Structure 1
Amino acid sequence: MKVVLQRSGKASVTVDGEITGSIDKGYVLLVGLTHEDKKEDVEYIAKKIAGLRLWEDDDGKMNKSIDEVGGSILSVSQFTLYGDVRKGRRPSFIEAARPEKAEPLWHYFNECLEGYGLQVETGIFGAMMDVELVNDGPVTIIVESK
């Protein structure tokens, strides 16, 4: 499992002209799953993200977690995180999990985050989505289970 986490001031995802999820302060999570991922990978990543201290304290140091600053999550499934471009010019997605495996794991991931008391907004699995984000910092972290 691979998640690109971007700290944001505000963000939204739109499908067919309709906003399906939006947040103010929080994290935008671009979530990729591979065919090897299991519930344990999802649980590990959710726990890691819930506990990360990526927000500044009074001294300007990254020392506060998302719940300490009242932040929310915008979770967007993105199989293209497992695109392999080492050969040729067209990406191979052979490492990305098939939708029938990835979708339930993505939903489970979002449930795990909610289990940590976080508000989670989402895109729509498998849809063509427009993601808007104000990257705060900018802070971008890649979190992987393997």
Structure 2
Amino acid sequence: MSKDATATGGGRERGGGNATQASMLSNEELANIETLTNAQLRTRANQLQREIQQLKNEERSRMNELQRLKKEVEDDKKRVKDNNKLPYLVASVSEILDMDDEDDEVEELDVGRRKSKRKQKSAIIKTSNRHTVFLPVVGLVDENK
């Protein structure tokens, strides 16, 4: 192998360059390469090979890290989806109130009849998420129980 073939990137056995790769080097770089001995050229080639290997290893580790992070994000999204269900709201009755609203007694219907006088029960409840709520109408729950 000639000095020129080594200077332009090596021979064919190393996947070396051709005339187009040699033309990418400036005249100053070519002159610089021509002044080096074969041992110096081999040393530089070995340094470049080590640097290439280092960069490939770094790329591989970054790709592995990226895959790990993607899997972690996917797992976190699944966990959020699973835990996004609303909890059951549990409440305990703290007070039951008898509401006698005098306004209801006086109010008349459109036909001129008075509303039937009824006692309405209300409740105050405490929920499991630490809220105290006033319910003006007890609703479906039997107020006697």
TM-score (norm 1): 0.19
Q: Which has the higher strand share?
A: 1
- The structure showing larger relative contact order (alpha-carbon pairs under 8 Å, at least 6 residues apart) is 1
Q: Mark the structure with the bigger radius of gyration.
A: 2
TM-score (norm 2): 0.20
Q: Which has the higher helix share?
A: 2
